[in-house]
Amino acid sequence: MEKISYEKSVARLEEIVEKLENGNLSLEEMMKLYEEGTALAVKCAKSLDAAQLKISELSAEKGEDE
């Protein structure tokens, strides 16, 4: 999967959900979108985990400085 920002990933994921909810797709199209959406959801979760870890590290460093 290409490198895209977290924000663009979320926007694309929202588009996919909307298309899947409308249900006007073939089974093949739905499966392709579901696969893409699942990969995007994993990517977003990893990005959030990394951000949370970074914030925790920065908070710990700040606490050590005081």
Residues 7-53 pLDDT 10s: 999 999 999 999 999 989 999 999 999 999 999 999 999 999 999 99
Asked, for residue 26, whether it belongs to a domain, the answer is yes
Where on the phi/psi map is residue 3: left (φ > 0), alpha (ψ -120 to 50), or beta?
Answer: beta
Asked whether residue 64 carries a pLDDT value surpassing 80, the answer given is no
Range of the domain at 43: 6-65
In the prediction, which pLDDT does 46 show?
95
Asked, for residue 47, whether it belongs to a domain, the answer is yes
Residue 66, SS3?
A: coil
Residue 25's nearest CA partner among 17, 1, 13, 12 is 17
Where on the phi/psi map is residue 23: left (φ > 0), alpha (ψ -120 to 50), or beta?
Answer: left
In the prediction, which pLDDT does 60 show?
87
Asked whether residue 1 carries a pLDDT value surpassing 80, the answer given is no
Asked, for residue 1, whether it belongs to a domain, the answer is no
Asked, for residue 23, whether it belongs to a domain, the answer is yes
Q: How many domains would you assign to the chain?
A: 1
Q: How confident is the model at residue 2 (pLDDT cuts 50, 70, 90)?
A: low
